[in-house]
Chain A
Amino acid sequence: MNDPVQRSCLRFGWTAVAGFLALGLALEVCHLFKAPFYVDATLRRELWTLAHAHGALLGLTTVVFGLTAERCLPDLGARRTASWLLRAGALLVPLGFFLGGVGNAEGDPSPSILVVPLGAALAFLGILAAAIGAFRKAD
């Protein structure tokens, strides 16, 4: 594992999976104790569940990216850029969902939710780059 991109993706990806699974556990504890700030707030429940799910899934995506990036994107510069985009997106999307459920109104997320589309765009661009690279490699 000499590729620095792969190393950083694996570190980030597994850390994200661990972190957002821990968030999932915390949410279950909230259910266990019927924590009113969570179970009685429909929108917050939805947003934090989305943070947990997106964080874990994007973390796994980053791991997969790390394992396959060298084959899809042989150019180190392109690989670094795509990796940065994906990791930024994988962080911002769940963070936006989570913070959107902090200090939110009953029917609307807090303004931090605006981080989500930004993160989603970055993650999309990173994955798009890998997808295009995969086609090129196949060519």
Chain B
Amino acid sequence: MSLAVYASAVGLAGWRVTSGYEDDFRTPFPHREAPWVTSEACRSCHPDHHASWERTFHRTMTQEASAASVVGAFDGRVVTFWGIRARPVERNGRFLIEYLGPEADTGEGGDEVQRTLEIARTVGSRRYQQYLVQDPEGRADNYYRIPLLWHIEEERWIHLNGAFLGPDDPNYDKHVALWNDNCIFCHNTGPVPGLDNYDELVERRTSGEAVDISSHGQFRSEVTELGIACESCHGPAGEHAERNRDPLRRYALHFTNKDDPTIVHPAKLDGERSVAVCGQCHGQRMPKTNAGIVDWMRTGPTYRAGEDLSEAVRLVWRDTPPPVPESDGFALRFWKDGTPRLTAYEYQGILSSPCYQRGELTCLSCHSMHGGDVFGQLAPEKRTNQACLQCHGEIARDISAHTHHELGSSGSSCYECHMPKAVYGILAIHRSHRIENPDIARDTATDRPNACTSCHLDRSPVWVAERTSEWWGGDLAALARTTSEAPVSMSGWLAGLHAGDPVQRAVAAEASARVDTPLSPRERVFIVPHLLLALFDTYPAVRWFARRSLEDLSRELATAGIDLGLADGADAFDYLADVSEREEAVKGLMRLFRENLPGDLTPPPEGTLLNERFEPDMDEILRLMRMQSTKVIQIGE
């Protein structure tokens, strides 16, 4: 009886409670007016979401330097680039970079520490980790990125000049950069750069002094939280946390299953606003106006999750006018048809995709910040065709009939054909996020790496055009109408590797060691001499991919009984060494290749510019190399 009374009283109270909050739940809330509170405030009510975010690389994007956050080897071993000797070392829990005297002085005080920088913060924790130091000239709130970074997978120190996409350049401090006016925006939550002396800089410039914000700005930067935390995607949560201290309100939300207007739920936004949440950082953009740049530098970006991103920023596209008119602007960051070819342009890729424009695709169709593995934030099934079959279910009935490739092969993977790896970023090649059908004529005309020739490494665009026309119809003659410099009758991969611009060359070098190509190991030997030539590339990042592919391919060939003896040499090849040292190393690798090449191999395929002894046709290859774009690409990150 008492239980029944108790239950009735509770039920009545529940009804009163839910009806009492109806106005609250109906009234839209201006998120931007809410204070920021950090992820700690979210943890008590959302422990599982907090835990699933805490394991991600978003959280560890920026961290205070500590034994827990620093992954580089601060072990006292000297790291030398272009004669400048640095010694990363840990002393009493402090992480230091000690710059030593030049090597020539080693006998007399060469190990004398000339300058010491203390690591204050780290940036990145997945592929590589960069390090920030406080301004050694006294502006303590100004943080600078140092030129050394730790490559996590390779477990070695490398120099920024070899991590960014740019030609060889021995300028040691070329990529030293201010954190407060750049990295702060996307690698942290609730950033406020706090430029303090803009008016003074304007005055100094007016009086003829050469000043700029990066070199002379005084910042008092603040962030709600280092790293990318809850409020980056859910909006400032102060009001949400405050209102939900009321347990009756919380239960009213649970009972009625209504959305809480005080917080943003990206999955419940319309498609445009949902992708914008990710696009605020995964889509290069600028303030709406040049005056807005100063506001950003003072008070930070104005966009908040859930809002219309286009009202706050101008997205960067291929034809966006550059801030410096005489520069190449943004054109080189896109393929010629406007498809992004660098990371941090995924948003532009999605916006250009038919699946978004005519379908219901959002970032959350495949990615989840609270699920899946942290490498890509993809659930296991979203790494398979299931990602696309959510919408394209009719293809699932007979995938091979659609792909004309064996089921389970790469040719039957939606990703390989519709999102090929053709995007450069942070010393890796990533999938294009412009989801579309492969088109050899379009790709040839726009110098884009083609999905078919990136796998069928020995095949030409002409071969691809014939196959695709036969299988899926289309205009076979379209290829003939394109104006490609490299012959379309030769291997498309090879044309990219030798005649392409730096991004094409990097993509081709990375594709060289694919294990899912239809070529057998014996049929892949022809790739080796071309990778050896790619080690001479003038862009260190291209050499990086060539070196890694050469090592991987050599090991795989050795496993298949073709031991060319190159794997260790490729592993030891220092892609940032002086040119003479590198040339000697490559010559040694070439010699090994000639000596260890089995005599019973079938001749290389036609169109691969090798004779029967696998010697390259250097006249033809040099002709291809002369087609390389002379435009210098200089891209950070």
Contacts and interface: CB of A to CB of B under 8 A. Distances in A.
A50 interface: no
Contacts of B10: 111, 114
A42 interface: yes
B45 A111 contact: no
Interface string A84-111: 0000000000000000000001111001
Give the contact-size bracket for chain A.
10 to 19
Contact of A42 (B14, B51, B251): B51
B47 A42 contact: yes
A42 B6 contact: no
A41 B45 CA distance: 12
Given A108-B254, A111-B10, A43 B47 contact: yes
Contacts of A106: 45-49
Interface string B490-509: 00000000000000000000
A108 B3 CA distance: 22
Nearest to A44: B48
A108 B250 contact: yes
A84 B3 CA distance: 14
Interface in B1-57: 3, 6, 10, 14, 44-49, 51
A45 to B, nearest CB: 10
Interface residues of B, number: 15
Contacts of B45: 106-108
A106 B53 CA distance: 15
Contacts of B251: 108, 111
B255 to A, nearest CB: 8
A107 B46 contact: yes
A118 interface: yes
Contacts of A43: 47-48
B408 interface: no
B247 interface: yes
B212 to A, nearest CB: 48
A106 B14 CA distance: 19
A41 B14 contact: no
Main secondary structure of the interface of A (DSSP, over half): loop
Contacts of B3: 118
Contact of B6 (A41, A107, A118): A118
A40 interface: yes
A12 to B, nearest CB: 18
Interface in A53-100: none
Given A111-B14, A118-B6, A40 B48 contact: yes
Nearest to B2: A118
A106 B51 CA distance: 12
- The DSSP consensus for interface residues of chain B is helix
Contacts of A118: 3, 6
A34 B310 CA distance: 44
Nearest to A42: B47
A47 to B, nearest CB: 12
A120 to B, nearest CB: 13
A100 to B, nearest CB: 12
Contacts of A107: 44-47, 250
A29 to B, nearest CB: 21
Contacts of A114: 6, 10
Nearest to A117: B6
Among B44, B46, B250, B254, chain A packs the most CB atoms within 10 A around the CB of B254
A84 to B, nearest CB: 12
A114 B254 CA distance: 15
B48 A41 contact: yes
Nearest to B44: A107
Interface in A27-55: 40-43
Contact of A108 (B6, B49, B51, B247): B247
A105 B250 contact: yes
Interface in B605-629: none
A107 B240 CA distance: 14
Nearest to A108: B250
B18 to A, nearest CB: 12
Nearest to A105: B254
Contacts of B47: 42-43, 106-107
Interface string B228-267: 0000000000000000000100110010000000000000
Nearest to B255: A111
A106 B44 CA distance: 10
A41 B49 CA distance: 10
A108 B44 CA distance: 10
Nearest to B247: A108
Contacts of A42: 47-48, 51
Nearest to A43: B47
Nearest to B253: A105
A106 B50 CA distance: 11
B43 to A, nearest CB: 9
A26 to B, nearest CB: 21
Contacts of A105: 250, 254
B164 to A, nearest CB: 40
Nearest to A122: B2
A43 B47 CA distance: 8
The interface centre, meaning the residue of A41, A43, A107, A118 with most chain B CB atoms within 10 A of its CB, is: A107
Contacts of A40: 48
A44 B45 CA distance: 13
Contacts of B6: 114, 118
Interface in B386-442: none
Interface of B: 3, 6, 10, 14, 44-49, 51, 247, 250-251, 254
Q: Which 9 pairs between the two chains have the least Cβ-Cβ distance?
A: A107-B45, A42-B47, A105-B254, A42-B48, A114-B10, A108-B250, A106-B46, A106-B48, A118-B6
28 contacts: A40-B48, A42-B47, A42-B48, A42-B51, A43-B47, A43-B48, A105-B254, A106-B45, A106-B46, A106-B47, A106-B48, A106-B49, A107-B44, A107-B45, A107-B46, A107-B47, A107-B250, A108-B45, A108-B247, A108-B250, A108-B251, A108-B254, A111-B14, A111-B251, A114-B6, A114-B10, A118-B3, A118-B6
Given A40-B48, A111-B14, 16 more contacts: A42-B47, A42-B51, A43-B47, A105-B250, A105-B254, A106-B45, A106-B46, A106-B48, A106-B49, A107-B45, A108-B45, A108-B247, A108-B251, A111-B10, A111-B251, A114-B10
